[in-house]
Amino acid sequence: MTTTQQAPKPIDVRGPRFTAGVTFLLALGALVAGLLVPIERSWGLRVLSPEFILLALAWLNFTIGTIWGVGANPFGAFFRTVVRPRLRKPAETEDPRPPHFALGIGFVLSTIGLVLHLIGVPWGLVVAAAFIVIASFLNAFVGYCLGCQIYLALARAGVIKPSSPLAA
């Protein structure tokens, strides 16, 4: 008996773009706060700094989305339950695996930024937030998902082997 796995259920492309928009605002706030406020603080004050808190909120969203999937992250859940019912049926859908991979990249970047900030590395959080700002801006406002493109390039190269073919 052979079992064929089907591609995951397609998702509304507006969901990841909405999530990227909220992420953009959080990361931009962290970036600006990190540029305006000096790093010379005790460990405890670093945890309470505005840049740390803003990037930690984005990190939480990335973490939940990475572990439980694109629709499980708080911003995606808000889009699905509050925003999407007020919109027309999506004209376009996509495979959830590339956006899920992109959330994983955001998780790694934000984790690095938070850890560097906590151990007192100057500009660590700022640089990580800048990368997140660029990627989330491109996704939210241009419709170009860098993490998705990395996923697709790795899949084409055979580095990532999806259990079923990617949707066109």
Tens digit of each residue's pLDDT (9 = 90 or more) over 94-126: 889 999 999 999 999 999 999 999 998 889 999
Identify the pLDDT of residue 68.
92
> 44: Cβ–Cβ under 8 A, 6 or more apart, which residues?
none
Instruction: Specify the pLDDT at position 77.
Output: 87
pTM equals 0.87
How many Å apart are CA 12 and CA 93, to the nearest integer?
Answer: 5
Q: Which residues on adjacent β-strands are paired with residue 94? A: 11
Is beta strand 93-94 parallel, antiparallel or unpaired with respect to 11-12? Answer: antiparallel
Q: What's the DSSP call for residue 165?
A: P
Enumerate residues 6+ apart whose C-beta is below 8 A from 3. Answer: none
Task: Give residue 44's pLDDT.
Answer: 66
CA dist 139 to 33, 44, 65, 92, Å? Answer: 23, 34, 16, 15
Q: Which residues of the chain have pLDDT under 50?
A: 1-2, 168
